[in-house]
Amino acid sequence: MHIDSYTFGSMVVDGKAYAADLVLLPDGVRGDWWREAGHSLGVGDLQDVLAAKPEVLVVGTGAYGAMKVPQETRRALDEAGIEVVIEETGGAVERYNALSAESRRVAGAFHLTC
């Protein structure tokens, strides 16, 4: 899977445009993704990711980094053996594409706005 472009509120993945937060898994895209606590990424928000067991999860925290990743979430990912990369969404897109190009089993969780 390849992220073709990202601008505030929009992402194009493999030629398909998305206008809401989304999760990229090795087997496809989960569009219209929303978290239980809005701008906080909880363990419950990542059940599809945990089930997919990627090597790496790239988290895009928004254009300005508004979405936070609490220690509890980081700890759960670590315990599951999933490396986590956390960046504002613009940088996270670049990291996701680079990791994907290395043929790593990568997932992404992207907040597209703030």
Cα–chain center distance at 3: 11
Predicted pLDDT of residue 48: 96
User: Average pLDDT for residues 74-92, to the nearest whole number?
Assistant: 98
Q: Which domain holds residue 46?
A: 3-110
What would the pLDDT profile of 10-66 be if each residue is shown by its tens digit?
999 999 999 999 999 999 999 989 899 989 999 999 999 999 999 999 999 999 999
Tell me if 53 sits within 8 A of 59, measured CB to CB: no
Instruction: Provide the domain count of the chain.
Output: 1
Amino acid in the structure at residue 112: L
Predicted pLDDT of residue 32: 85
- Distance (Å, rounded) from C-alpha 57 to C-alpha 85? 6
Predicted pLDDT of residue 73: 98
Predicted pLDDT of residue 8: 98
Predicted pLDDT of residue 38: 86
Tell me if 36 sits within 8 A of 85, measured CB to CB: no
- CATH classification of the domain holding 29: 3.40.1230.10
What would the pLDDT profile of 85-102 be if each residue is shown by its tens digit?
999 999 999 999 999 999
